[in-house]
Structure 1
């Protein structure tokens, strides 16, 4: 899982940067091929190292989808003479992402039960083949690559910046995944690497992580931070509640997955309704408030509580997810520079992964001894604290809007 998280967190903005340099269609097709290769390698794997390589390939490949899709949507909108695409276009992209992320676990369980664990990897082959055919048939070819040397490509991609970002992220991941044992020296290494990477990016002519852009466009920076906090709440629910349902209430994996299924359905409905308006401030406030309400509701859970309460709570968190992904994706589209939309889109996903990683660390620390009612209540108070911070920051935030103000010089 660490390999998958690292590959995805680094590959999302990297794929976006590559799509800005080489063209979104080329990067998307490369990603599809990587997914197919990862599925094949995993399907025939006979040791842990081969499985690790498979996970990395799948993580790298799937990371190409979102940033290239955003660039392709931007291109089509410009060709149609629109500043922004119809809301349902961005909404459809997010509904697809939420659905695949949420349905992957139960579908994977069905495949393992019916055909064995190798089916989870091999199923990527037909999916990748269909995607490849559709991409080649329906997506317009990128323009020609005019004689770019290796040095020019390396500079435009900012390979040094990518390597620094990956190293700093790896150190942070290792520190978080080792909790509750705190190796502070690993965190110190991560901090040093982040500082060095920022110093490099301030000098780079085509920075991978554009620090000056983030300083000049506070709305874009706030979009990343607030989205990461929302995803922290959502993933704590997914990880913490799932463990509690299985360990304390005695439900199996399939039953616990069904109890959380309304979260996916509600988020999809909310995205479809909210994305029509291409609005930002209303949805992000609603995301924070519903996350706070759902977090407070977790305090009502217990070994003797009505199990249907879990399904009710998932409605709150599903609504929060729907409001968040619709609002923050619209904010990203509005506030990111068009020529850097690929990297900016990838960074939004990276912050989402950061929330997921932090939530995994939280549940690991709280449930380190055992999964219990006390533990789920501790998680509830942590979620309430995070949600309160999110709500206050969202209400105080005044830069997020559908139509951005001119960036500061």
Structure 2
């Protein structure tokens, strides 16, 4: 489960230090190599809830094996790519292939809890969160090491052995049928809401394209999003087995608040990951390898925080810790200049490790306890979709802040945007009264055995 779930974050982050050498290899400007990032985001944001819904219906095994197998194919295509266009296609394949790992893990945890009657999978949820946030942080460092050893193609070749191990382990260990479930009446294929999935794609893709390039010339994309969104709403409210049950989702305010927190949290996280890393290379003058090394403290602190807070019940404390950590880190970013000593960059990475470790665990656990157990796969997929919406906003904010060069003034502008997102995260958390009710003795947020209205 851990290996499958980290295929997405490792491919999301490892490319951060590979964009410059890829651009040099193909003579492509940054405006073109940026599609290597955006292509994976588009495919993942669209594919996560779709694949999650398929996992809800068919179980984790088949989707996990198909997805991780596709990752291996994409690794081969990317390694041998003769041009940038093929490389972008490989990133699209990677995006769709990595969609199965995380929803499959969440679905398997839920069904195992139901089968065994064990109340709390907090330890395994913590391991998943630690693995995902750790690999997201060490991705740039790993990318720098691979590029130093064999060039940028090694960042794609890495997917081949990872996919091979995932397929073998999945074939050996994953159950052949959904654990603890019975097939729905009429057969699972009849439960697929293909028109709903198509309208979801028609709504999401233009929104993501607009967020990637916030120009006046793209004014028509939000209009397409609104029109497709209206059609999607009508379809899902009248569908017998909707792709996303809007009635249930609309009545689940705690889960909607979790999705909103995920969006703004990942604005901060990805702006730091890409924007700050870019500034450390261009504005501060570090090499790609040293820029990756500077983020090692965030990796270590994030793991320590996740392991520590993962032992405690409740969600509110974890979310408040993440909110305060984000605000403190963004404020510290505003004090940095090109003349700041190196230790201040390391100190910033240490501070950012606190929300990195706390937020990822809290958001994951929130979905686990707030979502309808019958739709845990698609709900987990939607969490990733909102996270990638946040990453798109972060990408646009980074581009708008830096322009042609990652200057210190641009970094400070980006930090102010991040600070605003951090304050919004805090407000959403403080105003969410369901978190306070849980912490005062309703259902235990680490406990999958909860009341029906908790779903």
Does the alignment reach a TM-score above 0.5? yes
Distance 1:88 1:368, change over 3 A: same
Q: Provide the aligned C-alpha RMSD in A.
A: 2.4
Distance 1:351 1:133, change over 3 A: same
Distance 1:157 1:278, change over 3 A: farther
- Which SS does the other structure have where 2:453 is aligned? coil
Tell me the equivalent position of 2:260: 225
Q: Determine if the alignment matches structure 1 residue 41 to structure 2 residue 77.
A: yes
Structure 2: tracts of 5 or more residues without a match: 1-36, 439-443
Tell me the equivalent position of 1:21: 57
Q: Is this contact kept in 2: 1:94–1:325, CA < 8 A?
A: yes
Q: Is this contact kept in 2: 1:8–1:350, CA < 8 A?
A: yes
Q: Is this contact kept in 2: 1:262–1:315, CA < 8 A?
A: yes
Q: Determine if the alignment matches structure 1 residue 57 to structure 2 residue 57.
A: no
Tell me the equivalent position of 2:102: 66
Distance 1:303 1:407, change over 3 A: same
Tell me the equivalent position of 1:407: 453
CA distance in 1, matches of 2:324, 2:46: 30
- How far 1:19 moved relative to its partner? 0.7
CA distance in 2, matches of 1:131, 1:177: 32
Alignment counterpart, residue 32 of structure 1, candidates 61, 68, 71 = 68
CA distance in 2, matches of 1:227, 1:321: 12
Q: Which moved more, 1:151-160 or 1:366-375?
A: 151-160
Distance 1:147 1:334, change over 3 A: closer
Tell me the equivalent position of 2:160: 125
CA distance in 2, matches of 1:137, 1:152: 26
Distance 1:148 1:208, change over 3 A: closer
Q: Which moved more, 1:201-210 or 1:40-49?
A: 40-49
Alignment counterpart, residue 113 of structure 1, candidates 135, 148, 170 = 148
Tell me the equivalent position of 1:183: 218
Q: TM-score, normalised by structure 1?
A: 0.93
Once the two structures are superposed, the pairs formed by residues 68-107 of structure 1 within 5 Å of their partners are 68-85=104-121, 87-107=122-142
Q: Which moved more, 1:15-24 or 1:302-311?
A: 302-311
Tell me the equivalent position of 2:207: 172
Q: Is this contact kept in 1: 2:262–2:386, CA < 8 A?
A: yes
Q: Is this contact kept in 2: 1:165–1:194, CA < 8 A?
A: yes
- Which SS does the other structure have where 1:407 is aligned? helix
Q: Is this contact kept in 2: 1:179–1:364, CA < 8 A?
A: no
Q: How many residues are paired up?
A: 407
- How far 1:398 moved relative to its partner? 0.9
- Which SS does the other structure have where 2:240 is aligned? coil
- How far 1:293 moved relative to its partner? 1.1
CA distance in 2, matches of 1:203, 1:99: 42
CA distance in 1, matches of 2:383, 2:126: 16
Alignment counterpart, residue 258 of structure 1, candidates 286, 293, 299 = 293
- Which SS does the other structure have where 2:310 is aligned? helix
- CA-to-aligned-CA distance 1:226-256 (integer Å, 9 cap, x gap): 1211111111111221122112211111111
Tell me the equivalent position of 1:247: 282
Q: Determine if the alignment matches structure 1 residue 361 to structure 2 residue 396.
A: yes
- CA-to-aligned-CA distance 1:141-196 (integer Å, 9 cap, x gap): 226999999x9656522121222222222111221222355521122222222222
CA distance in 1, matches of 2:218, 2:368: 38
CA distance in 2, matches of 1:254, 1:177: 27
- CA-to-aligned-CA distance 1:195-234 (integer Å, 9 cap, x gap): 2222221112222222212211101111111121111111
- CA-to-aligned-CA distance 1:372-407 (integer Å, 9 cap, x gap): 222222222222222112212211111133447753
CA distance in 1, matches of 2:249, 2:90: 34
Q: TM-score, normalised by structure 2?
A: 0.84
Q: Determine if the alignment matches structure 1 residue 370 to structure 2 residue 425.
A: no
CA distance in 1, matches of 2:188, 2:124: 32
